[in-house]
Amino acid sequence: ALAAPAAFAEKTSPRLRWRLAASWPISLDTVYGGAEFFAKRVGELTGGRFNIRVYAGGEIVGGLQVLDAVQQGTVEMGHTASYYYIGKMPSLAFDTTLPFGMNYRQQNSWQNFGGGNDLLNKEVFSQFNIVSLPAGNTGTQMGGWFRKPLEGLGSLKGLKMRIPGFGGKVMARLGVNVQTLAGAEIYPALERGVIDATEWVGPYDDQKLGFYRVAKNYYYPSWWEPSTQFSLYVNKTAWDKLPKEYQAAVHAAAAEVNVRVMAHYDAVNPPALKQLIDKGVTLRPFSKDIMEAAQKNAFELYEELAAKDPTWRKIYGEWKKYRGMEYAWFNVAEQGFADFAFPQVPRSEL
Amino acid sequence: ALAAPAAFAEKTSPRLRWRLAASWPISLDTVYGGAEFFAKRVGELTGGRFNIRVYAGGEIVGGLQVLDAVQQGTVEMGHTASYYYIGKMPSLAFDTTLPFGMNYRQQNSWQNFGGGNDLLNKEVFSQFNIVSLPAGNTGTQMGGWFRKPLEGLGSLKGLKMRIPGFGGKVMARLGVNVQTLAGAEIYPALERGVIDATEWVGPYDDQKLGFYRVAKNYYYPSWWEPSTQFSLYVNKTAWDKLPKEYQAAVHAAAAEVNVRVMAHYDAVNPPALKQLIDKGVTLRPFSKDIMEAAQKNAFELYEELAAKDPTWRKIYGEWKKYRGMEYAWFNVAEQGFADFAFPQVPRSEL
C-alpha cells in the first residue's frame, strides 16, 4: 500500500515539451529573464520531465500576438502583459494596470486574496480559453521623456506623445495628440521631432533605447502605470490535462517569478537612473494640476465603460472597492514611514 | 537514452518525512498559514514524496527556540523571524528588519538581487549550520498601543513600553523604560497599568489580543519594523543531502509564501483597522521629533556595533548602501504616485 502513491506519480508524470511565447525581446533582460527563469524552475521541479522552451517576441509570433497564439494553441504558454489586448476586451487591463490603479503589493493582494485572479480567469480569460497567473511586475513606471519641460496642464494641449492603452485614452482627454508607434519607430520619431514625448518603462529599460540623447526631461510618475503586472498564460485545454503536480509547478514558479522580476527591476533601476542623471537628464514631477485632471478623467472613462460593458462593470466594482481599501491602509503605516524616511536620502545615493 | 533522466529522477526522489517547527501559534493565521501552505505546496510539487509536517510554536519546541532546533537537527526545518535570535548574533536582524531599514520590495530586492541572501547565508547562517530563505513579510508594522497620547519626544522619558529587539534598544536611548514580556503577559500588564504601551504587529494580529480595550491610542508607523521578513530555515546538513529537485521545490514554495503572506496581510489589515476605529481607537502618527531622534539614535547604534563586530560591519556596509539606493529610487516614481493618490481616499474606505 505504501508504494501506491509513487506508482501513481510515475503514471501521471508524462514527458512534456511545451513552447512559451514571450512578448519580450531578449534585450529586456529583466522580464525576458523572468520567462526563462520560469521555464528553468519548472524543469527543475519536475526532474526535467516538463520541458518548456521560451521564445522571444517575433520568434514564433509577434510580441503582441501572444494572447492569440495561446488561445489558438499555437503555443501552450505565453508570458505577456494583458493590457496589450484591450482592443479585444477592455477588462483585460485589470490584469496588468490602469491609470490610478494599484501598486505592486496592492495588485498582488487583490489577485491572491481579494478574489481578483479568480474573477479575471472566470469573467475574462475563460473567453479566450486561457488560464492567467501573475508573473512579474515593474512597480510604478516613469512618466517618460519630453523634449521640452511642461508648463502645467495647458501645455499638454496638442502635444504629440507616443502613449498606448488607457494612458493614451486619458492623455487624449487632456488634449494630447496621441501617437501609436512600434518600439523601433519611437527613437527616430522623437529625434526628428515627429513626436514631442514618449513613455516606455523605467530607467533601466529606457536607457537602452537612448531617449535621453534627444529628450532631456524625464517625468515621473507614470500615473497610468502605478504597477505593471506581467502574466503567465496557459492554454486552458492544455492546462486541464496537466497532472496536478505540474499545475503546482506552474503556480509556484510563476509566483517565484513574480517576486524575482520586481526584485530585479528594483536592483537595476537605481544605478540606471544615476547614469541618466550623470548624462544630463533632468527629473521632473508632473504638476499637481496634470495629476488631478488625469485622475478625474480616468475615473470618468471608467464610469462610461461601466455603463456600457457588463464585464467591465462587474470587475470595476470589485477592483475599485479593493483599491480604496488598499489606498486607505497604505496611507497609514506604509506611507507614514516612507514619507518620513525616504526623502532624507539624497539622489546621489542612487 | 531518452529514458535515462526519468530513471535518474526516480532514484533521486526518496520518500522523506520532515518536521517544520514554526514560531507561530495557529491563531496567527496569516503567517502560520504561510508555513502550512509551504508544506502543502512542497508535497504537491513532489507527488507527495517530500512530506513536511508543520508544528506550531510550543508543540516540539518553543516559538523562540526554532533556530536552536534547526541547528541541532531536532527538526529539519523552521519558519521563524531571525531577529528573535539577535542575542546570539546581532547580524541576524538584517534577515528580518531593522529600525529605519528597508520596505518589503527593497528587502526582497536586496535578498534576491543585491547579494543579501547569499551574504547572510555565508556570514551568518553558516555559523548555525542553517540555510535561510525569505518566506513572508508583514510590510510596515504599526507603532503600537499607548494608554495616553504622546506629547512629543519628551513624553517618552520613563514611559514603560513592551518592545523587544533593536526597536527596544533605540527606545531605551530615547528614555523609554523598556520591558520584555512574553505574549500572554502583555495584555494584563497593559490593563493594570504595569506598562504604558506595547507594540505587536498590525491591525489584524493586534485586534485578536484585544489591546484596543485598554489602550485607545494606536500609533504609526513602526519605524523599528519598516517590513518584517519571515524566514524558512533548513538544517544545512539535511539541505546538502536533498535531491536538487527537492531543493528547487523548497526555493519555489518559499518564494510563493513570500508573496502570499504579504498579500494576505494586505487583505486582512484594512478591514481590521476599520473595525478598530469603529471601536473607538484613535490613529496617531509619531511626531517628527520622535522620528528624527529615533533615526539618529538607530544609526549611532549601528555605527557602534560596526566598530566592535566584524560580521555586523561587513553586512551593515552592504545593507546601508543598498538601503540608500532603494530609498532614493522609491522617492521618485513610487512615492511620486503614492503621495498624490493614496491620501485622496478617506479612511472610511478601509
- Note the pLDDT tens digit of each residue in B92-134: 999 999 999 999 999 999 999 999 999 999 999 999 999 999 9
Burial of B193 (0-12, 13-18, 19+ CB in 10 A): exposed
> Are residues A105 and B266, on separate chains, in Cβ contact within 8 Å?
yes
Cα→Cα distances B305→A7, A27, A272, B90, B342, Å: 56, 43, 32, 9, 38
B7 touches chain A (CB under 8 A): no
Nearest residue of B to residue A338, measured between CA atoms: B335
Nearest to B332 among A273, A338, A346 (CB): A273
Cell of B149: 497620547
For residue A7, the model assigns a pLDDT of 43
Contact B226, B101 (CB under 8 A): yes
Residue B4 binned pLDDT confidence (cut-offs 50, 70, 90): very low
Cell of A43: 524543469
Cell of B264: 494576505
Mean pLDDT by 10 residues, chain A (350 residues): 44 87 96 98 97 97 97 98 97 98 98 98 98 98 98 98 97 96 90 97 97 98 98 98 97 98 98 98 98 98 98 98 98 98 97
Q: In what order do the strands lie in the sheet with B16-22?
A: B50-55, B16-22, B77-80, B229-235, B130-137
- What is the DSSP secondary structure assignment for residue B127, as one 8-state letter? G
pLDDT exceeds 70 at position B10: no
Nearest residue of B to residue A255, measured between CA atoms: B256
For residue B182, the model assigns a pLDDT of 78
Predicted TM-score (pTM) of this structure: 0.96
Binding-face residues of B in 37-76 toward A, CB within 8 A:
41, 44-49
Binding-face residues of A in 280-309 toward B, CB within 8 A:
283, 285-286, 288, 291, 295
For residue A183, the model assigns a pLDDT of 78
Residues with Cβ within 8 Å of residue A207, at least 6 apart in sequence: A272, A275, A276
Nearest residue of A to residue B325, measured between CA atoms: A350
Contact B176, B156 (CB under 8 A): yes
Nearest to B339 among A41, A111, A339 (CB): A339
B312-333 pLDDT, tens per residue? 999 999 999 999 999 999 999 9
Contact A24, A63 (CB under 8 A): yes
* Range B209-234 average pLDDT: 98
Distance separating alpha carbons of residues B336 and B332, to the nearest angstrom: 6
> Are residues A112 and B260, on separate chains, in Cβ contact within 8 Å?
yes
Residues with Cβ within 8 Å of residue B274, at least 6 apart in sequence: B347, B350
A129 touches chain B (CB under 8 A): no
Residue B6 binned pLDDT confidence (cut-offs 50, 70, 90): very low
* Range B64-88 average pLDDT: 98
Contact A71, A124 (CB under 8 A): no
- Residue closest to A338 by CA, chosen among B134, B76, B326, B253: B326
Cα→Cα distances B281→A227, B43, B207, B275, B285, Å: 32, 43, 11, 9, 13
> Are residues A325 and B270, on separate chains, in Cβ contact within 8 Å?
yes
Residues with Cβ within 8 Å of residue B52, at least 6 apart in sequence: B18, B19, B20, B38, B39, B42, B43, B77
Give the number of other CB atoms < 10 A from CB of residue B45: 26
Q: Mutating which of A13, A106, A109, A264 best tests the B interface, going by the most B Cβ atoms within 10 A? A: A109
Q: Mutating which of B329, B345, B349 best tests the A interface, going by the most A Cβ atoms within 10 A? A: B329
Mean pLDDT of chain B, nearest integer: 95
Nearest residue of A to residue B336, measured between CA atoms: A221
pLDDT exceeds 60 at position B2: no
ipTM of the complex: 0.96
Nearest residue of A to residue B256, measured between CA atoms: A255
Provide the CA A72 distance to its chain's centre, in angstroms. 23
Q: What are phi and psi of A54, to 5 degrees?
A: -95, 135
A4 touches chain B (CB under 8 A): no
* Range B191-211 average pLDDT: 97
> Are residues A326 and B270, on separate chains, in Cβ contact within 8 Å?
yes
The amino acid sitting at A193 is G
For residue A47, the model assigns a pLDDT of 94
Compute the residue count for chain A.
350
Residues with Cβ within 8 Å of residue B349, at least 6 apart in sequence: A321, A324, A325, A327, A328
Helical residues (DSSP H) of chain B, grouped into ranges? 4-11, 29-45, 66-72, 104-113, 116-123, 165-173, 183-192, 203-209, 236-241, 244-278, 288-308, 310-330, 333-341
For residue B13, the model assigns a pLDDT of 84
Residue B1 binned pLDDT confidence (cut-offs 50, 70, 90): very low
pLDDT exceeds 70 at position B35: yes
For residue B139, the model assigns a pLDDT of 98
Residues with Cβ within 8 Å of residue A4, at least 6 apart in sequence: none
Distance from CA of B227 to the nearest CA of A (A): 9
> Are residues A329 and B249, on separate chains, in Cβ contact within 8 Å?
no
Nearest to B336 among A10, A41, A285 (CB): A285
B262-276 pLDDT, tens per residue? 999 999 999 999 999
What is the maximal distance between C-alpha atoms in chain A?
Answer: 77
Distance separating alpha carbons of residues B137 and A178, to the nearest angstrom: 41
